[in-house]
Chains A and B, each alone.
Chain A
């Protein structure tokens, strides 16, 4: 589902070119440019180091051996000493350059990771769900890793290679401008060919990045669903799916490497062409007396110096395609505008308990049919309201609109008289808390999970919160009390216990409007009742909206909202609604009574 959308989107948009992506990437990470000038100077010095050997060789041959007066050992010694000295300097600058490079890129990319991570959390719930978790994780891990690997190994090499090409050209011109010109005549058309090949390579790498994300998603699913896989004996099927994803990724990688090898081969054409031209032309120049044998020899050395950076740069440009694909996937996230955004110049909620009003609210999930058809309702402040209805009737959707996890497709929701869209998130989230149907606990201690709601509270306060909800005994029975490790997703607790923790966490957040979506569906009836009366006592005076299949909640609430197939069909106190013969609520309640009271 999501990948199809993604590919369509990408096709429509026409993937931006690599330079565009690089440019955008660099703009987004200004750290990468800090001290760039100095780094470049270091790079230039470093690249001079590569010239030491051939230039010394030439000097030795020309002046030391063929110089007037025969071989001159002292001259050669001098050249060698200077050469070693220069090498020492360039090695030092190489060290400095690499160190700076690591510091700068790692710093910039850590910030990029952080920004991307934050942006993913800022996207709306529906946006987040349109992509698999493994794939989102890939964006803040391996996608960014490709960028860092490239910047550290390839990025500077491209720059130093370019510098080397310039330096080599300059030296070649000094030796023989005719030969230098000839070399460039060969080089220019080949470089155009390389550029053309790169485009194909870019596509291949973009597929590689996508297939990594798919592979990670497949792994994530099989790990999270391990229990189902095991109990249905569908290990073979699952490993087949994994194998397909792994194989698909391998296939894409192999395709990319093949294209990259051919593109790299273009460097070989330069190699051949340049040598051939130098040999032929050089022979004539030597014959014509425009050049010495030593000069031609040195030139042949220089040619290697020219070709090697070309080869390296081609290689690194190939690598760059991979990095650009990774970078693009990161930038794509950053470019996605959050559609449920924190309003600019938003207002704060008024003090005190909050009332809610839904005005003609409609909602359809993206690409789906409408699931709420014009909800008009007022929930007064200080009341406890139960929301009931058959499964799929739209209760959770209602709750998500109420807490602005999504915005309605039509109509509006007001909280404390202010339209939800105009309320600052900081104010909204601190005053309104929801316990979603699929609660989630973090890997950490019990106390850590409660502090998620309010980081500043101490152990004692946490314990008090548990006591107030009648759960002190439960905490005491845990092996390490508040310091008990809950495991990933709270796996060390029973499902009902996880719900208790989620509820305490929401209670600690001390909201003025509390929304509970099936928050105690897995808790045993006795505990649930104890909990709900404790909760009633401590939340008295606040507004509470409770979605529950167990109608015990409805019986004790001030008002009941009854949903049926996306419509609000009844609304009023429990007793009244239950008395309406043949109504949806009367039906639901009748069956509830039958289910809980029969012999």
Chain B
């Protein structure tokens, strides 16, 4: 975080800087949408000025209509008409200025929310995958929703409050022209009001922070649980999950009650203060009237103005009351915006065509928790060749595949395409060169066509059908009622696991990449289809280099070279036949089924 206002809050105890931080937040938000804000403020000022003029009109009515009527026993039609006309004109002005204020402040707030949401979600897209793994999806939802809302909350009453401030200044002027003593009483009210608010804000801040954190926790718990709903159901753990969720929801409840107690204590005081002020002003006004310093009409005007002020002055209280929460929300939003670790892309483009050359040069990779998943890995996928990556569960194959597609950067060493370090390439060039099919297929909530094309250039229906055919997915897609226009549902729920996998495979093929990285992407694909795909990639016109994570011997046998990983290190390289001969762990892994069957047959024979 860059600015000074953002050091993490202490967990308990009031924080003095909260008002300043809150005001700075408001300033930032006004800068985002100054036009609508100005409209709203002008609306609010006109509106409050109109509200004030009620006092004068009433005063006028009393002195020009009621008093003569009382004295003469008859009503001057002319002055009544003027009074009503003035009221009507004022009402029209008030109506339009009120609409300007409300629509202006509302739409400004929504614009600012949308602005931040766009920024926050852009950050989500820009931050590295490792950052995502550290932040539960539900929390990220809360950042984009509840936190943005909290940060912008003071904007709704803000123009109103500005109008009120304007009105206060005006009334102070009026008070001073009427009488200095009354003005001083009024003036005395404000320091009291601000002190009260400042105490309130600083006491509120830590509670608001806790509430906002818990809001995120509730969202995270809910999202995670619905994500895993099938497992919850399959194991009959609904009750336990509900208890877990209810625990967090209960903490949120307690935190909110804490917030509520504080608000309950301060808001009536903040509300009652102006009322007490009015009574005191009345008293002072009366003594001044007695002393002959002011007239009756002036006394009425003063009392009336106080009673009018009593309501809108609460708007200032609303803004101040929302400040602590808004600061907390803003900090959480800033936390996302300031998160670092973005992948910086270079500006080089690869201009080659045909298969690319992939090179790992002494690559090491450690996860954030210190797990060294890859150590000193060096190998190449020569253009147009297929390299099989073989290794036991957890040996680092996916990590390596992610590095090849630059989902992450190596801790040490370099990964290169055609001799160029991936970090020097543009994002576009990277994506156009290499396609990764991840181990867990991910399908977007969209149509088949959109899932395959992903709005990439040059992918028309013919290409899509070709890719589907190559991935062995043309048959089932052809059987779908709406064909390519079929909506697949969130994460492709309406497909079987194997069907999803084939679609993601087709997605990679459709882009005609120069290098294809398959991370165990064929586990649910029938063996026949898999060998066809690999054979197809070798011989077809748009041949590609292939790095394939596989266990099946036939797949491996198709590869020109095998790279064998053990505990994150390459312990053997060569053709399948060579490794089978020379490297025992390799042989044990890939001939496991064969040996198991041989053992079984042996057992059966000896038993017979």
The yes or no answer to B511 lying at the interface (CB within 8 A) is: yes
Q: Beyond A242-B125, A293-B70, A595-B553: 19 further Cβ-contacts under 8 Å?
A: A46-B268, A98-B268, A117-B242, A137-B138, A222-B124, A226-B125, A227-B407, A231-B436, A233-B427, A237-B455, A247-B114, A289-B73, A452-B237, A452-B240, A479-B370, A494-B394, A525-B590, A527-B392, A599-B553
Which chain A positions have C-beta within 8 A of B219?
A: 137, 141
**Interface CB pairs A-B, < 8 A, 25:** A80-B279, A98-B263, A106-B260, A113-B249, A133-B226, A221-B445, A223-B132, A224-B137, A225-B444, A227-B442, A228-B438, A232-B431, A242-B118, A257-B107, A284-B69, A288-B73, A297-B66, A405-B230, A429-B236, A488-B136, A492-B369, A494-B393, A522-B520, A528-B592, A529-B596
* Contact (Cβ within 8 A) B445 A524: no
* Contact (Cβ within 8 A) A279 B83: yes
The yes or no answer to A287 lying at the interface (CB within 8 A) is: yes
The yes or no answer to A428 lying at the interface (CB within 8 A) is: yes
Which chain A positions have C-beta within 8 A of B9?
A: none
The yes or no answer to A11 lying at the interface (CB within 8 A) is: no
CA separation between A474 and B393, bound complex, in Å? 10
CA separation between A71 and B299, bound complex, in Å? 13
The yes or no answer to A418 lying at the interface (CB within 8 A) is: no
Interface 9-mer from B20-28, B188-196, B302-310, B353-361: B302-310
The yes or no answer to B166 lying at the interface (CB within 8 A) is: no
Interface 1/0 per residue, A561-599 and B, CB below 8 Å: 000000000000000000000000000100110111111
CA separation between A243 and B276, bound complex, in Å? 50
Interface 1/0 per residue, A452-481 and B, CB below 8 Å: 110100000000000000000010000100
* Contact (Cβ within 8 A) B98 A268: yes
* Contact (Cβ within 8 A) A425 B236: yes
* Contact (Cβ within 8 A) A220 B87: no
CA separation between A242 and B122, bound complex, in Å? 9
CA separation between A300 and B66, bound complex, in Å? 12
The yes or no answer to A410 lying at the interface (CB within 8 A) is: no
* Contact (Cβ within 8 A) A228 B129: no
* Contact (Cβ within 8 A) B278 A53: yes
Interface 9-mer from A32-40, A351-359, A548-556: A548-556
Find residues 483-499 in chain B having any chain A CB closer than 8 Å to their own CB. Answer: 487, 489-491, 493-499
How close is B212's CB to chain A, nearest CB, in angstroms?
12
Which chain B positions have C-beta within 8 A of A253?
A: 106, 110, 113
Interface 9-mer from A22-30, A56-64, A172-180, A324-332: A56-64
Which chain B positions have C-beta within 8 A of A527?
A: 392-393
The yes or no answer to B535 lying at the interface (CB within 8 A) is: no
Interface 1/0 per residue, A86-116 and B, CB below 8 Å: 0100111011111101110011011001100
* Contact (Cβ within 8 A) A293 B431: no
* Contact (Cβ within 8 A) A65 B286: yes
When the two chains form the complex, which single residue of A73, A524, A596 contacts B286, counting CB atoms closer than 8 Å? A73
How close is B303's CB to chain A, nearest CB, in angstroms?
5
CA separation between A124 and B432, bound complex, in Å? 42
CA separation between A262 and B593, bound complex, in Å? 75
Q: Do most interface residues of chain B lie in helix, strand or loop, or is the interface mixed?
A: helix
CA separation between A229 and B438, bound complex, in Å? 12
When the two chains form the complex, which single residue of B75, B234, B259, B588 contacts A434, counting CB atoms closer than 8 Å? B234
* Contact (Cβ within 8 A) A592 B527: yes
CA separation between A148 and B259, bound complex, in Å? 13
Number of cross-chain contacts by CB at 8 Å: 526
How close is B292's CB to chain A, nearest CB, in angstroms?
11
Interface 9-mer from B140-148, B177-185, B326-334, B538-546: B140-148
How close is B481's CB to chain A, nearest CB, in angstroms?
8
Interface 1/0 per residue, A338-354 and B, CB below 8 Å: 00000000000000000
CA separation between A120 and B490, bound complex, in Å? 17
Find residues 207-255 in chain B having any chain A CB closer than 8 Å to their own CB. Answer: 215, 218-220, 222-242, 245-246, 249-250, 252-253
Which chain B positions have C-beta within 8 A of A283?
A: 61, 65-66, 69, 75, 80
* Contact (Cβ within 8 A) B121 A300: no
* Contact (Cβ within 8 A) B110 A254: yes
Which chain A positions have C-beta within 8 A of B187?
A: none
Closest 10 A-B residue pairs measured CB to CB?
Answer: A429-B236, A102-B260, A233-B431, A391-B498, A257-B106, A496-B393, A98-B264, A272-B91, A94-B268, A110-B253
CA separation between A237 and B459, bound complex, in Å? 15
Find residues 220-266 in chain A having any chain B CB closer than 8 Å to their own CB. Answer: 220-239, 242-243, 246-247, 249-250, 253-254, 257-258, 260-262, 264-265
* Contact (Cβ within 8 A) B261 A102: yes
How close is A468's CB to chain B, nearest CB, in angstroms?
18
How close is A93's CB to chain B, nearest CB, in angstroms?
9
Interface 9-mer from A190-198, A377-385, A436-444, A538-546: A436-444
Q: Do most interface residues of chain A lie in helix, strand or loop, or is the interface mixed?
A: helix
The yes or no answer to B600 lying at the interface (CB within 8 A) is: yes
Q: Give B531's nearest chain A residue, CB to CB.
A: A595
How close is B234's CB to chain A, nearest CB, in angstroms?
4
CA separation between A13 and B247, bound complex, in Å? 35
How close is A469's CB to chain B, nearest CB, in angstroms?
13
* Contact (Cβ within 8 A) A87 B226: no
The yes or no answer to B435 lying at the interface (CB within 8 A) is: yes
The yes or no answer to A189 lying at the interface (CB within 8 A) is: no
Please, how many residues of chain A have a CB less than 8 angstroms from a CB on the other chain?
Answer: 191
The yes or no answer to B466 lying at the interface (CB within 8 A) is: no
The yes or no answer to A187 lying at the interface (CB within 8 A) is: no
Which chain B positions have C-beta within 8 A of A247?
A: 114
Find residues 27-80 in chain B having any chain A CB closer than 8 Å to their own CB. Answer: 54, 58, 61-62, 65-67, 69-70, 72-75, 80
CA separation between A264 and B101, bound complex, in Å? 12
The yes or no answer to A304 lying at the interface (CB within 8 A) is: yes
Find residues 384-410 in chain B having any chain A CB closer than 8 Å to their own CB. Answer: 391-394, 397-398, 402, 405-407
How close is B228's CB to chain A, nearest CB, in angstroms?
4
CA separation between A382 and B531, bound complex, in Å? 37
When the two chains form the complex, which single residue of A239, A552, A588 contacts B122, counting CB atoms closer than 8 Å? A239
The yes or no answer to B133 lying at the interface (CB within 8 A) is: yes
* Contact (Cβ within 8 A) A136 B551: no
When the two chains form the complex, which single residue of A235, A301, A592 contacts B307, counting CB atoms closer than 8 Å? A301
* Contact (Cβ within 8 A) B129 A230: yes
CA separation between A524 and B395, bound complex, in Å? 10
How close is A543's CB to chain B, nearest CB, in angstroms?
16
CA separation between A488 and B140, bound complex, in Å? 12
CA separation between A331 and B272, bound complex, in Å? 38
* Contact (Cβ within 8 A) B66 A271: no
* Contact (Cβ within 8 A) B94 A268: yes
Find residues 469-504 in chain A having any chain B CB closer than 8 Å to their own CB. Answer: 474, 479, 485, 487-489, 491-497, 500, 502
The yes or no answer to A269 lying at the interface (CB within 8 A) is: yes
The yes or no answer to B290 lying at the interface (CB within 8 A) is: yes
How close is A120's CB to chain B, nearest CB, in angstroms?
7
The yes or no answer to A132 lying at the interface (CB within 8 A) is: yes
CA separation between A216 and B219, bound complex, in Å? 11
* Contact (Cβ within 8 A) B593 A525: yes
The yes or no answer to B117 lying at the interface (CB within 8 A) is: yes
* Contact (Cβ within 8 A) A232 B454: yes
When the two chains form the complex, which single residue of A94, A121, A246, A549 contacts B238, counting CB atoms closer than 8 Å? A121
CA separation between A369 and B482, bound complex, in Å? 13
With A247-B114, A442-B224 in contact, do A392 and B279 touch (Cβ < 8 Å)? no
When the two chains form the complex, which single residue of A52, A57, A276 contacts B84, counting CB atoms closer than 8 Å? A276
With A80-B279, A595-B555 in contact, do A391 and B525 touch (Cβ < 8 Å)? yes
